[in-house]
Amino acid sequence: MLKVQSLSFTHASSQLPALTEANFELQPGQALMVTGPSGGGKSTLLSLLAGLAPGFLKGTMTGQILLEGRAPQNPADWAASVGLMTQNPESQFLAGSVSDELYLTLRCRGRTGPEASERVKERLATFKLESIADQSVFKLSEGQKQKVVLAALTALKPKVLLLDEPSANLDPQALVSLADILTLLLAEGLSLVIADHRLAWLRKVCGQVLVLNSGRTVYQGSWEPLEDNRFRDSLGLRAVTIPNQVTLPPAPSGAGPGVWADNLTFGYHKQPPVLKDLSVRVDYGQVTAVVGPSGRGKTTLARLLCGLEKPQQGAIYFDKADPHQAYGTVVLQNTDHQLYMPSALAEVALALNPGQRKIKSPESALEILRSYGLESLADRHPQSLSGGEKQRLAVAVGLARPGKLLVLDEPTSGLDGLNLKLMSQQITRAAENQTAVMVITHDPELVSLAADSIFELKAVEEQSIEAYNGPVNMLSSSKSEDRNFTVGP
C-alpha cells in the first residue's frame, strides 16, 4: 500500500513550494490519475514518489511517503519498490537492444544467472516483445518503447508504478493498447499513479482523480466534477470525453489554390515504399489535419513537402510555381534543435533576417510575437520556456519566415488544455494570413478545435487518389470501443 501524508516540496532554486500538503492512499490494484495545468506540481509529485529527492531533486521536502507502512531508506529501497516511466521512454534506456535492457535492469539489482534469464523470457512473452527482443531500442515505435520500459520495470516486481505523461507521444491505437496493459498490471496487484493532460483514455483505468494547481490539491475524488466544462476551463484541463462524431470535409486533391502533392511515391533506402501514388492538396487559408496510425508515413509526407526528401515519383506544386522554388516550413517535434538565440525576440528576428548579427529592427519581430500572444516572453531565453511556450515560439518563428506552407508535426504533444487552445488559436491565425497549414497529429481535440479538413493516411496498399474520395475514419484500425471519431463531408 502507498500512503502519502502532508507531502510538500520546495525546489532549492525557488522560494515558492512546488508541492503543498499532498495526501492520498492507494491500495494494491488501484490507480490514481494526477492532472492539472502545466507547472501544477505533477512531475514534482512523481519525482518525490520515485525517491529522486534529495539525491537528484535538490530542495526541502516535508511530510511522508510510506510503502507497506514504512518509508524507503535509500535509492536501492526505492528502486526495489517503485518504478517510474518518464515522458520520453527512450531516455530511460541504458542498453542497446530490447533484451539487453531487461538484463541490465536485473543486473543493476544484482539478479543474474538462470533466474534472471527466466524472468527476461517471461517479461518478453507477457509484453509480446519476443519478436523484437534483439532489435535496437532506438528503432522502436513510441508504443513499443513504452512496452519495453514497462517490461523492464515490472521485471523487478515493484509494488507501485508511476507514469509521467504516457499519452504524450502515442497515437490513439497505441493509447488503447497501453490502457489494456495498465488494466492487466492493476489486475496483477500493482498500484498506479498516472500524471497526464489527456484525460479521456484514463477513465477506464483510474478510479481516483487528483487535480493539482500551483502545487496545491484543488480537487481529489471521483471523475464526476471533471465533467463540468466550467470547472475544467477554470483550470485549463482537457476534455474528459472525446466527441464521437466530428464532421470535417476530406482534404481535396489535384490542382488548385494551394500546395499539392501529385502521385507521390517514396521509400527509404531501398525499403518498400512508405507512400505510393499519394495525392493531396492543402489550400491557402485552410488548416488540414493529417491523421493515421504511427508508421503510415505522415512525417515522411511532411519531409517531402519541406524538401528534406525527394520523391521517387510524382511532384509537389506550390500554386503552379516551380516546386524547387518554394518549399514549406516544418516545425518538428523536438524544439530543442530549432531554437538558437539568447531571447525569444532575437529568435524571431533571426528568422526575419538570418544574416544579421544584432537585432536592428526589433519592431517587426515584436509585432509577430504580439500577434501570437507571446510578447511577454520577448526577453526570455528560449530554453527557459515551458514545453507549450517553446512549441508556440517555434511556430511563430516558422511563420516569420517567408513561405506559403507551414507543416506542424505533433504540435500539442504533452500540452495542457490551456496551451492546446492557445496553439489552436495560433494555427487558425496562421491560416487567416493565407498560409496553407498542415497539422500532423494524433490529438482529436486539436483536430476538432483547429482543422478545416482532414486527410487520413492509409496503409500503403490503399494509398491512391480513389481511396480519399469518401468519408474517413480517424481511428479506423483501433480496437477500442471509443474509436468512433469519424469525419465525413
> Which cell is 253 given?
486533391
On the CB side of 50, how many CA atoms lie within 13 Å of its CA? 21
As measured in angstroms, the least distance from the Cβ of 444 to other proteins is 27
As measured in angstroms, the least distance from the Cβ of 476 to other proteins is 30
Report the residue number, 164 or 445, with the smaller CB distance to other proteins: 164
Contacting range for other proteins; rule: CB under 8 A; set: 208-216, 236-244, 279-287, 322-330: 322-330
φ, ψ of residue 244 to 5 degrees: the values are -70, -40
| Contact call for residue 43 and other proteins (CB under 8 A) | no
Catalogue the E-assigned strands of 230-319: 258-266, 275-283, 287-291, 313-318
Give the angle 404-266-407 at the CA atoms, nearest 5°: 25
| Contact call for residue 67 and other proteins (CB under 8 A) | no
Report the residue number, 39 or 307, with the smaller CB distance to other proteins: 307
Report the residue number, 204 or 380, with the smaller CB distance to other proteins: 380
Residues 126-185 that bind other proteins (CB under 8 A): 136, 138
Residues 85-114 that bind other proteins (CB under 8 A): 86, 88, 90-97, 100, 103-105, 107-113
Q: How far, in Å, CA of 456 to CA of 475, rounded?
A: 9
Residues 249-288 that bind other proteins (CB under 8 A): none
| Contact call for residue 402 and other proteins (CB under 8 A) | no
The one-letter amino acid at 434: Q
Contacting range for other proteins; rule: CB under 8 A; set: 37-45, 209-217, 275-283, 304-312: 304-312
Report the residue number, 108 or 255, with the smaller CB distance to other proteins: 108
> Which cell is 363 given?
519592431
As measured in angstroms, the least distance from the Cβ of 251 to other proteins is 23
Place of cell 515560439: 393
Report the residue number, 218 or 339, with the smaller CB distance to other proteins: 339
Q: How far, in Å, CA of 88 to CA of 165, rounded?
A: 9
Q: How far, in Å, CA of 370 to CA of 366, rounded?
A: 6
Q: What is the DSSP letter of 69?
A: T
Ranges of H-type helices in 200-252: 229-235
Neighbours of 107 (CB within 10 A): 13
As measured in angstroms, the least distance from the Cβ of 330 to other proteins is 6
Report the residue number, 399 or 449, with the smaller CB distance to other proteins: 399
Which one of 1, 25, 29, 52 is in contact with other proteins (CB under 8 A)? 52
Burial of 376 (C-beta count, 10 Å sphere; 0-12/13-18/19+): exposed
Q: How many residues bind other proteins (CB under 8 A)?
A: 60
Q: How far, in Å, CA of 222 to CA of 210, rounded?
A: 9
Contacting range for other proteins; rule: CB under 8 A; set: 82-90, 209-217, 436-444, 471-479: 82-90
> Which cell is 308 given?
528534406
As measured in angstroms, the least distance from the Cβ of 326 to other proteins is 10
CB 396 within 8 A of CB 368: yes
Which one of 17, 83, 252, 292 is in contact with other proteins (CB under 8 A)? 83
Q: Rounded to a whole number, what is the largest CA-CA distance in the chain?
A: 71
Report the residue number, 4 or 407, with the smaller CB distance to other proteins: 407
As measured in angstroms, the least distance from the Cβ of 112 to other proteins is 3
Please report how the helices 387-400 and 362-371 are oriented relative to each other, as an axis angle in degrees rounded to 10: 120
> Which cell is 322 given?
516551380
Report the residue number, 266 or 327, with the smaller CB distance to other proteins: 327
Report the residue number, 287 or 332, with the smaller CB distance to other proteins: 332
Per-residue contact track with other proteins, 370 to 399, x per CB under 8 A?
-----------xxxx------------x--
Q: Classify residue 27 as left (phi > 0), alpha (psi -120 to 50) or beta.
A: beta
**Residue 298, helix vs strand vs coil:** helix
Give the angle 413-415-420 at the CA atoms, nearest 5°: 105
Q: How far, in Å, CA of 136 to CA of 129, rounded?
A: 12
| Contact call for residue 410 and other proteins (CB under 8 A) | no
| Contact call for residue 411 and other proteins (CB under 8 A) | no
Which one of 23, 56, 188, 321 is in contact with other proteins (CB under 8 A)? 56
Place of cell 495560433: 426
Residues that bind other proteins (CB under 8 A): 13, 50, 52, 55-56, 75-76, 79-80, 83-84, 86, 88, 90-97, 100, 103-105, 107-113, 136, 138, 306-308, 327, 329-330, 332, 334, 336-342, 350-351, 354-355, 357, 381-384, 397, 401
